[in-house]
Structure 1
Amino acid sequence: MDESVSVREARAGLAKLLDQAEAGEPTVITRGGTPVAAIVPIEEYDALEAAADELLARKAIRTLEEDGGEPRATMAEVLADIFGTGATDVA
């Protein structure tokens, strides 16, 4: 079962919580009794990130298929959106 600790307890015992995560034990951190974060083993975090990437990739493929296979934006437009520059600044 996942352990739950307050922010105060987490601050005081961070090294112990990291040891527990390294041993495969997740810990939920609460603020005012409400869960707000978790310390998890890095393998679980990596798996979650990979699953999120896969989900986004599948969604992108589905969107492209629905749009007839044509992208909605050019690469320059995407980069401009990401980096906050004009499309001509990136190309």
Structure 2
Amino acid sequence: MRAVLFALAFPLAASPALAQSMPNSLDLSCAAAFDMVRQKGAVVMATGPNIYDRYVSDQRYCGLAETTFPVWIQTSDMKQCFVGYRCREPMVRNR
């Protein structure tokens, strides 16, 4: 019984450590944020407290039914810095 409780509690205890390792755009220069996305291909990056998204360098990192949309985020040195793209399902217009 104790082993089960420990196994359930351990991931909860590790969660804050995982969240702290996420890069935060407000701590990076625009060039550093852009380079990180370009080099890794896909990065989950915080853009403020409890705000984050996944940024990709190109279409290869999106699902088959998704397309890329350019995205600008705030960094330590710029209010609007182009870091790459977000993957989203294309908007379908009704005729």
Scaled by the length of structure 2, the TM-score of the pair is 0.35
> Whose helix proportion is higher, 1 or 2?
1
Structure having the larger proportion of residues in strand? 2
TM-score normalised by length of structure 1: 0.36
* Structure of greater Rg: 1
